[in-house]
Amino acid sequence: MSDDDRVPALAVQLHAPIVEKLVGAMPEPAGVVDAEGRVIVANRPAFALLPGLRLGEPLILALRTPNVIDAMRRVLATGEAETVPWSERVPIERLFEVCVAPIEDASGAVAAALLTLRDLTEQRRLERMRVDFIANASHELRTPLASMLGFIETLQGSAHGDAKARDKFLVIMREQGRRMARLIDDLLSLSRIEQKQHVRPEAAVDLAQLARHVADTLAPLAREMGVEIKIDAERAVMVTGDRDELLRVAENLIENAIKYGARQDGASADQVEIAVTRSASEGSMIVRDYGRGIAPEHLPRLTERFYRVDPGQSRAKNGTGLGLAIVKHILTRHRGRLTISSQLDRGSTFTAIVPLHPS
């Protein structure tokens, strides 16, 4: 028996080394099965995705998904390519599109099939996010709009000519109109920041001066809420950034601390502490409050658009629920980050971190 006789007929027909190299060069999980459904070639991503995958063994041992296995059998039998979905829930939810393509031997018979898996998880997540976003934005606009229309109808109907009612309703209508305008402004700035996401800002901005400035502008709100602001930001900390955008970061964080940092019992004066510090490569603005804090299950979702711990409280304080989403986008664009630590009934610390300016 010569050496050639021991090489499986199929491998010869498929020029195995080339097939192996081609499949190996594919970026997505891929493999080839023979006419009996045994795995003869698979690439690294496939082994990583399917820990049970073994060369020479039936694919079904590694991938127990009836629709994929059935598709593979049909393709091997009919020679017609198919694409089927495959979703997994454990350990994490993932969605794939599996393409099964027939491979014919020299005589034209289907000798094998190439399976490629395309990961659609991220695409599906983005689609869902977009749909949720539109639903949320519409809902947020519809509530004040419905209220305004209700008042207009009342003024045209039962309250027609009632000067007292008119004055009262106009105040509410103006408030609702302002709320809609604020929401639209926030949505527009979010989309503007998103558009610029990949262009990194370059100017030198003094984070300490910026924090002092915002603390001054928010002093009236703090006074109104009975909150004392303490600021420790004497020395300049020059970071690389866009001044207007960093102003929004400071405004959102300090305003949140004032709005949500009030203690419920009112036993002692509420305090918000602002500090600006620097490390070797980064500048940080730390905003700390001693309010009711945020439960750990909310923390990972806080920067999602429209996410609020207590929607009623946020709306009552004229919040749109977009503030922290804007903060996160701005810091991402700055190649910086936001960290949040919080303890229920002890308060929260929000830290915006931005790379220093090289100068």
Ligand X SMILES: Nc1ncnc2c1ncn2[C@@H]1O[C@H](COP(=O)(O)OP(=O)(O)OP(=O)(O)O)[C@@H](O)[C@H]1O
Binding site for ligand X (CB under 6 A): 186, 252, 256-257, 260-261, 289, 291, 294, 302, 308-310, 314, 319-325, 348
Given ligand X, Mg ion, none, residue 314, with its beta carbon under 5 to 8 Å by kind, binds ligand X
CA atoms within 13 A on the CB side of 19: 22
Quick one: which of 323, 328, 330, 353 contacts Mg ion (CB under 5 A)? 323
Given Mg ion, ligand X, none, residue 50, with its beta carbon under 5 to 8 Å by kind, binds none
In whole angstroms, what is the distance from residue 329 CA to residue 335 CA?
10
Strands annotated E in 207-346: 227-232, 238-240, 270-278, 282-289, 337-343
Residues 89 to 118 in contact with Mg ion, rule: CB under 5 A: none
Site string for Mg ion, 251-270 (x = CB under 5 A): -x---x--------------
The closest alpha carbon to 31, from 142, 112, 151, 152, belongs to 112
Nearest residue (CB) to ligand X, 38 versus 333: 333
Nearest residue (CB) to ligand X, 38 versus 308: 308
- Which residues, 6+ apart, have CB-to-CB distance to 82 below 8 Å? 71, 74, 75, 99, 100
CB atoms within 10 A of CB 139: 10
Nearest residue (CB) to ligand X, 13 versus 143: 143
CB of 338 to ligand X, least distance (A): 11
Check residue 342 for interaction with Mg ion (CB under 5 A).
no
- Which residues, 6+ apart, have CB-to-CB distance to 253 below 8 Å? 285, 287, 327, 350, 352
Nearest residue (CB) to ligand X, 308 versus 329: 308
By beta carbon distance, the residue nearest Mg ion is: 323
CA 187: distance to chain centroid? Answer: 16
CB of 182 to ligand X, least distance (A): 7
- Do residues 113 and 10 lie in contact, with contact meaning Cβ atoms separated by under 8 Å? no
Given Mg ion, ligand X, none, residue 322, with its beta carbon under 5 to 8 Å by kind, binds ligand X
Q: What pairs with residue 277 in β-bridges? A: 284
Binding stretches for Mg ion (CB under 5 A) = 252, 256, 323
